[in-house]
Structure 1
């Protein structure tokens, strides 16, 4: 096992295990973050688009969940971080398949919790029919049209928007668990209409909660240093993960 430094004293960090998972010929770097009882993860994080996207950016969220009894998995898509592959050749559909491969490492006895950031939120919602999550936590969630599924990232691509045919909205319409959305008031990537669309399509959700923060799109760079807002979000995420077990 190896533990990474994410701004928390080493003595207080939960145990973490680095590993690789395999999907369609690619080797994806991953980390399991363990609760004290060593339980299998039932939470997975799906990161967003960008050359600097990393599985470690949300450790402040996952370490807190571990301290409160919930193990998790975070990984890097092909073309990012320590994973193999080329970012320019990746597609949304490929990343969806990699998300499903990662989910196979979760606790089979519990419906999972999917935590998605930006593009990862689109992917989390898209996988709802397959994974049947008990809860979704979406940070600055993007949405893309159905026509983008097989467009390579190195090509010209559609910007995030409230596309009626988005696979994310089709997935969220089928979602029957608890929904938390954390949005940025100054998001320069995802229009506010996308947040509204996620909520309007979540017609079967058992509960819905929206937190708006005074930051830009890159929420995980900003939030860890904001004591009050961080407490609010960590508390909301803990309540979501624990409460959705009811």
Structure 2
């Protein structure tokens, strides 16, 4: 952790000697969690608590169209939900103990797609994408529930480059550390989509790619949930916590 210093004089037997107070500045990394479509912040809470225990400030939240605002699900668009993510990020960095130069974002599925887009409009140092989904750039303002699922799956199975997709373009200019986690038996985000993301991170400082064996898209089994939690926690320890120890800022 970084420290602030204060030069003082210590009075002793009618004389004074020099001293220096070293006081922790109390700034820590911030971690924003973005859940997937049809989910809620409940998906992230256990992992957020574990990472908070490492000395980070974590924020989970519910995208519009979910949880208390599920009545809006038929009308909410990707534009609406990206605005939600930006607002949550802006709320996170107002926390008094946050180091605003040390922000991590963890996104799952649709949340991973939104997290990638966030990096174009807000500073992000670490980006973790769990089964990140991919969507066509057109119909951006269309309510997400109106997107054609069959056409979407055809799109996700194709080879897509950063020149053809906003989210991949954002990944191509991301210069921090990235993590991509794939589910071995994913029926919603095919391997080709994951490979499109992997190929896009050409400017990243580092890229870690992991596969959760026998896992489905939603991490339905307890072993797959534990495996993903372990992957995320280990990466966070190495990247977020470890980098600050190495630089003398923890």
Shift of residue 38, structure 1, vs aligned partner = 8.7
Shift of residue 141, structure 1, vs aligned partner = 0.6
Q: 2:235 matched to which residue of 1? A: 236
Shift of residue 85, structure 1, vs aligned partner = 5.2
Relative to the length of structure 1, the TM-score reads 0.76
Kept in 1, the 8 Å contact 2:32–2:58? The answer is: yes
Q: 1:60 matched to which residue of 2? A: 46
Shift of residue 177, structure 1, vs aligned partner = 0.3
Shift of residue 179, structure 1, vs aligned partner = 0.4
Shift of residue 170, structure 1, vs aligned partner = 1.0
Q: 1:93 matched to which residue of 2? A: 79
**Alignment of 1:168 onto 2:167:** yes
Choose between structure 1 and 2: higher helix proportion. 2
Paired residues for 1:7-26 under 5 Å: none
Query: Please, which runs of 5 or more residues in structure 2 have no aligned partner?
Result: 1-24, 95-99
Relative to the length of structure 2, the TM-score reads 0.75
CA RMSD of aligned residues (A): 2.4
Runs of 4+ deviating beyond 6 Å? 37-41
Shift of residue 65, structure 1, vs aligned partner = 0.6
- Aligned pair count reads 207
Q: Which moved more, 1:208-217 or 1:145-154?
A: 145-154
Paired residues for 1:145-160 under 5 Å: 145-157=136-148, 158-159=151-152
Q: Which moved more, 1:129-138 or 1:149-158?
A: 149-158
Paired residues for 1:108-147 under 5 Å: 109-147=100-138
Paired residues for 1:43-54 under 5 Å: 43-50=31-38, 53-54=39-40
Shift of residue 150, structure 1, vs aligned partner = 1.2
Give distance in 2, aligned partners of 1:47 and 1:64: 17
Q: Give CA-to-partner distance per residue, 1:16-44, whole Å, 9 cap, x none.
A: xxxxxxxxxxxxxxxxxxxxx99677111
Query: Please, which runs of 5 or more residues in structure 1 have no aligned partner?
Result: 1-36
